[in-house]
Amino acid sequence: MPSDDAYVFTLPMKVRDYEVDSEGIVNNAIYLHYFEHTRHEFCTMAGLSFRRMRELGMAPVVSEISVRYITPLGLGESMDSMLSLSRRGPRFIFRQWIVNERGQTVADATVTVVNMLNGRPTRGDEFAAAFSRYLTS
């Protein structure tokens, strides 16, 4: 589990029945949904919802993602999905963790996002302004 100062946002979630496979565990692709939903909720909490981004002509695009699966989640389990955010030039790096109700890290990911503005890549200044108080070094 990441230390308390490692993350800036936490989203409680629960495994739904349609997210498990025939063995009763969460399918590996579902974790990508969990991670993405957490990023969307973080953006909304930070004051820049995806709806607002669309209105401004912005489009955050995942350019790279790496996931490490550690232990499975099963039907009905509760979890916390956590993230931290840093910037490297025009790239915004989300470090994300899913932690089960026993405090064990289930999966972690590094997600790189770049911003497009009216269909063109940007330096990311729009994101930096919106997320400045959440950025870690």
Q: What is the mean pLDDT of residues 40-55?
A: 94
Active-site residue (options: 17, 21, 80, 125): 21
> pLDDT band for position 4 (50/70/90)?
low
Does 12 have pLDDT greater than 90? yes
Determine whether 17 is an active site residue.
no
What domains, with CATH codes, occur in the chain? 4-136 (3.10.129.10)
Specify the pTM.
0.93
Residue 65, Cα to own-chain centre: how many angstroms? Answer: 10
> pLDDT band for position 106 (50/70/90)?
very high
